[in-house]
């Protein structure tokens, strides 16, 4: 386990980001009191003073504090970089600070003409990356979404982490259905490992029976029907899904799909080649046609309104008497 207390989570795999946060939290020891010693800030809205208070406050009734900062560099410009680094220098070792920055891998030719992958924002020349490289108490954890060629390897690795295994062809078959949505893929992996009772490797037949269109109702088919305007089919699948799947998992999948469609709509409106979304791993190459057709069914205003509605549903599920399952069924009707 790393001895660092400053952790930069760099990447666009939000599922793996959540896992990394859990791992860091678990490393804080038995005396870590999350209720008393956790702060979570959004870099888009938090002031520098908010950040300073969170990072420099000493722990209560324990040996560690945890500070999580989403969108960590949103308000850090050239004029505030030095002040931000001085704050990092002043952060006590008892505070574990997790800074999450969404970043994407891109391909570029080096001086020798060979293709290499680089980070779009937090490259080796970035001021924060340089600071971390010079400090033993700081680390970068890279969490990039797998691409189309490596998603089956990701599936195999996740299955191993969960205590099971996949046959190579089965990993490729699952990746074909999930794309690189690692959160959804992990849910399907768990379901498949349970299906085989962790006693053997998951086969292609298992994937077809449990995940694919030919098998049971699943979230991928429902999402396709929903965004393609096949509302009666989407309603039927949604009801069947809610009988066996936590509504929180379904909501996460719907949010992810509409976030993808917003990015596709942006590219279409800007008359960009959608290959840029494949390069950024927003889509797999074989998804471009289907997702562009779905995005053309909506205006950008409609997509952003739907996305805001989904986020509102997430909040309501925690604060309102309206059940998330009811809200999900209402959403399908609203899109009809």
Residues 137 and 15 in one domain: yes
Lowest mean pLDDT among 12-16, 256-260, 263-267, 312-316: 312-316
**Strands, E assignment, the chain:** 6-11, 38-42, 65-70, 95-102, 105-109, 115-119, 138-143
Domain boundary among 75, 109, 143: 143
Judgement on whether residues 198 and 156 belong to the same structural domain of the protein: yes
Same domain assignment for residues 96 and 214: no
Neighbouring C-alpha atoms within 13 Å toward the C-beta of 30: 0
- Are residues 97 and 216 located together in one domain of the fold? no
Residue 20 and residue 134 in one domain: yes
- 94 and 162 co-located in one domain: no
For residues 240 and 202, state if they share a domain. yes
Distance CA 187, CA 208 (A): 15
Mark whether 255 and 219 lie in a shared domain: yes
Query: Which segment of 35-44, 162-171, 270-279 scores lowest on mean pLDDT?
Result: 270-279
**Which of these three, 106, 125, 143, is where a domain ends?**
143
pLDDT at 320: 67
Number of domains observed in the structure of the chain: 2
Domain stop point among 92, 109, 143: 143
d(C-alpha 94, C-alpha 182), whole Å: 32
Residue 130 lies in a domain: yes
pLDDT of 91 strictly over 80: yes
* Mean pLDDT along residues 304-313: 88
Q: Residue 55 and residue 41: Cα distance in Å, rounded? A: 11
Question: Is 1 a domain residue?
Answer: no
Residue with tokens 């033993």: 136
Shared domain check, 80 and 156: no
pLDDT tier at 30, thresholds 50, 70, 90? confident
Answer whether residue 35 is part of any domain: yes
Tell me the pairing of strands 105-109 and 115-119: antiparallel
Residue 243 has what pLDDT?
83
The mean per-residue pLDDT over the stretch 129-156 comes to: 93
Q: Which domain holds residue 159?
A: 151-334
- CA-based R_g, the chain, Å: 22
What CATH number is given to the structural domain containing 306?
Answer: 1.20.272.10
Tell me, yes or no, whether 222 lies in a domain.
yes
Q: What is the mean pLDDT of residues 317-334?
A: 82
Question: How is residue 2 written in tokens?
Answer: 């790393």
Q: Are residues 230 and 212 in the same domain?
A: yes
Task: Determine, yes or no, domain membership for 131.
Answer: yes
The pair phi, psi for residue 228, each rounded to 5°, is -90, 0
The rounded mean pLDDT for the chain is: 88
Based on the fold, state whether residues 326 and 257 are members of the same structural domain: yes
Same domain, yes or no: 247 and 269: yes
If one compares 84 and 275, the residue with the highest pLDDT of the two is: 84
Q: Is residue 69 part of a domain?
A: yes
Give the count of beta carbons closer than 10 Å to the beta carbon of residue 63.
13
pLDDT at residue 278, rounded to an integer: 81
Cα 253-279-166 angle, rounded to 5 deg: 55
Question: What are the C-alpha distances in Å from 142 to residues 12, 104, 174?
Answer: 9, 10, 24
Q: Is 163 exposed, middle or buried (0-12, 13-18, 19+ CB in 10 A)?
A: exposed
Residues with Cβ within 8 Å of residue 139, at least 6 apart in sequence = 2, 4, 6, 7, 8, 132
CATH number of residue 138's parent domain: 3.40.50.300
In 3D space, the residue among 1, 8, 25, 4 whose CA is nearest the CA of residue 98 turns out to be 8
- Counting DSSP H helices and E strands in the chain, the numbers are 16, 7
> Does a structural domain hold residue 43?
yes
pTM of the model: 0.69
């Amino acid at each position: 386990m790393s001895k660092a207390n400053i952790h930069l989570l760099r990447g666009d795999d939000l599922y793996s980001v959540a896992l990394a946060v859990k791992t860091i939290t678990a490393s804080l020891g038995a005396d870590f009191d999350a209720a008393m010693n956790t702060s979570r800030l959004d870099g888009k809205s938090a002031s520098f003073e908010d950040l300073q208070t969170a990072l420099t406050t000493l722990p209560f009734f324990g040996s560690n504090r945890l500070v999580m900062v989403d969108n960590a560099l949103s308000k850090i410009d050239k004029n505030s970089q030095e002040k931000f680094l001085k704050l990092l220098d002043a952060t006590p070792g008892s505070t574990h600070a997790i800074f999450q920055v969404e970043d994407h891998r891109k391909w570029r030719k080096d001086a020798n003409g060979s293709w290499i992958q680089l980070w779009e924002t937090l490259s080796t020349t970035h001021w924060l990356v340089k600071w971390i490289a010079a400090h033993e108490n700081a680390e970068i954890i890279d969490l990039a979404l797998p691409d189309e060629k490596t998603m089956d390897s990701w599936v195999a690795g996740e299955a191993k982490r969960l205590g099971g295994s996949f046959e190579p062809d089965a990993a490729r078959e699952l990746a074909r259905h999930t794309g690189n949505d690692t959160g959804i893929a992990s849910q399907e992996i768990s379901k498949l490992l349970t299906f085989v009772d962790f006693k053997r490797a998951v086969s292609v037949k298992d994937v077809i029976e449990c995940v694919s269109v030919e098998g049971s109702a699943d979230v991928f088919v429902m999402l396709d029907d929903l965004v393609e305007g096949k509302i009666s089919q989407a309603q039927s699948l949604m009801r069947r899904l809610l009988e066996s799947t936590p509504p929180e998992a379904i909501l996460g999948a719907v949010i992810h799909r509409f976030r993808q469609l917003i990015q596709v709509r942006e590219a279409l409106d800007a008359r960009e080649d959608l290959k840029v979304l494949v390069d950024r791993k927003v889509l797999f190459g074989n998804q471009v046609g289907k997702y562009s057709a779905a995005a053309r069914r909506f205006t950008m205003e409609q997509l952003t309104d739907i996305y805001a509605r989904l986020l509102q549903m997430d909040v309501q599920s925690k604060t309102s008497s309206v059940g998330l399952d009811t809200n999900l069924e209402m959403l399908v009707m609203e899109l009809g």
